[in-house]
Structures are given as C-alpha cells and as structure tokens.
Amino acid sequence: MRAVSVLAICAMATIGSAASAQEVDWKKVDEAIGRSAAVVSGDVHRYGFPRTDLTVTLDGVTIKPALALGGWTAFKPMHGGAMVMGDLVLLETEINPVMAKLIENGIEITAVHNHVLRATPLTFYMHIGGHGDPVKLATAIRTALAESKTPLTPPAAPASPPPAIDLDTAQIDQIIGAKGQANGGVYQIGVPRRDPVSESGMQLAPVGPLGLATAIGFQPTGGGKAAITGDFVLTANEVNPVINTLRSNGIEVTAVHSHMLNEQPRLFFMHFWANDDAVKLAKGLRAALDKTASAKS
C-alpha cells in the first residue's frame, strides 16, 4: 500500500535552511524530483515512484503496482522549510546502495522491512524522513533512487484505461464503512483513526497522503475473489486483538513493525495478505477494524 499505503515520517534530519513554508517553490521541487506531484492535499505534495519495472508474483497472483509496489515520498511545509516522509520499494540488492546515498545527503532511515511473504522476487520497503530545504530533499531522494532500478522518468499515460474493478465495491464499502476508489486496477480504501497523531509537535492529518490511515487494497483475481493487502495503523494495545481477529478470518498477518520514530501516540503498522472471496475478506477486515479506535463514516 500506502500503499496505500503508504509511511515513515521525518526524524528532523538537517539538510539546510529554506524559505518559510508559505514560500515553497513547488515547481522547483517537481523539477528536482523529476515529476509532478501525484497527489496534492492541502499543503502536502506527494510523489509516486511505483515499481512498474518489476513483475512480482505471490501465491500465483501477479501483484499490480497499486496493490503493494507503490513507492512514494510526501513533502509538507514545516519549521521554516519542509519535512519529507516516504516509503521506497526496493529489491534486496538495492537496499544498501540506496541507503548509502540517502545517509550521505542527510536523509534519515526510519525503517527497513518486508510487507508481504513468499513474493518472487522479494521486495523490501525503506521508510525515510528528513527536514530542510525541499529542493535539496527532493534532489537527495532522486539521487538515492538512481542507485536502484526504480523508474525515474514520469510514467507515460496508459494506452487504454485500467480494467474495471470486477468486485461488488458498493457492498465492500458498506461492510468496511468507508468509500474506496479505483486506482490502477486496485480498489483502495483508507480508514482513519479517531485520535490525533502528532510528529515533532505538529499535528498530522489522520487521512490523506501522509499514510496515517489504515490502508486496504483489493485486487480482483476472478470469480468474486480478491487478493488483499495493506496495513493497519495501531496502538500497542490493539496489536494482538487485531492479529487474532485477522487470523481467525483467514487473513495472514505478514509483518508488524514501526514506520516512524517520534510520533505520538506510538503507532505500529500491521501488514496482511489473503486471496479469497472479496466480501468474506471485507467482513474479516471490518471485524479487525472494530478492535481499533478507527473512525466510521
């Protein structure tokens, strides 16, 4: 996801001074990172780096980039400059070269881990954060990604529209309690938490491009079935109730870890996987959401 998701946040790495938040020149940031923002929400600009170069299969399913291969970075004006957070999708051999360039240019690493199991090839996820001049931040990220085979040129417009979502999305929305949207052949839903989340004293939006909502993706696999993955955003006391509920509903828990370093309250991110009847899986996900302090629409 954030993948949907996703989801790390800045740990106050210092990369230099910048103009005030009101004076961020987003055109220069676009030029430095090599593409226009895929999402602009309020004062946050989010850039997508999907691994369209990879063909990743898991349990016989070819994973669409929008389901679990959507690397991204998001910039938000903060403290006289900008903060950046991001989630880079990398192969095992790319982790250390990319990390070395990030560290060399002042970007902090906040997590490195898997999101799914048994995938071929295996993919890993590097969460990053920084603060400073947004153009320097963007340049540092692009320089680091050049050490991988992540496509750095803006994606071409698709020759044809993506296939329709062959699922009962209205029923899925009703069960989950949130309205989803189609993206690249995947049906994506974000469910925010009720309680506020802050980082370095700044309150962050519970839903949107910063990746603080539970992210769920449904990729149709035929006959009303779907492959699902994403991540739950949880406080410590919610982790094991959600694990038990997902497992009892036939949904595999594939990772539990942090994405950030200094957030309040402390959050944990739980990734999951299943390929089964989409309505059945939606009910299992809803049961797990009921174990959390998630907002309901």
What does each of the 297 residues of the chain score in pLDDT, given as a tens digit?
Answer: 443 333 333 333 333 333 344 578 999 999 999 999 998 888 899 999 999 999 999 999 999 999 999 999 999 888 788 989 999 999 999 999 999 999 999 999 999 999 999 999 999 999 999 999 999 999 999 999 999 999 999 877 777 787 789 999 999 999 999 999 999 999 999 998 888 777 666 676 655 556 678 999 999 999 999 999 999 999 999 999 999 999 999 999 999 999 988 888 889 999 999 999 999 999 999 999 999 998 766
What is the H or E stretch that residue 220 is in?
Answer: strand 214-222
Structure tokens at 123: 């993919």
**Residue 213, burial from CB neighbour count under 10 angstroms (0-12, 13-18, 19+):** buried
Q: What is the pTM of this model?
A: 0.88
**Residue 75, burial from CB neighbour count under 10 angstroms (0-12, 13-18, 19+):** buried
Residue 86: closest CA among 138, 34, 28, 153: 138
Q: CA torsion angle for 5, 10, 15, 21 (degrees, to 10)? A: 90
Structure tokens at 254: 């594939």
Is there a contact between 206 and 196 (Cβ–Cβ < 8 Å)? yes
Residue that has been written with the tokens 């994973």 in this structure? 63
| Beta-bridge partner residues of 252 | 273
Q: What is the DSSP-derived secondary structure letter of residue 31?
A: H
Is there a contact between 223 and 206 (Cβ–Cβ < 8 Å)? no
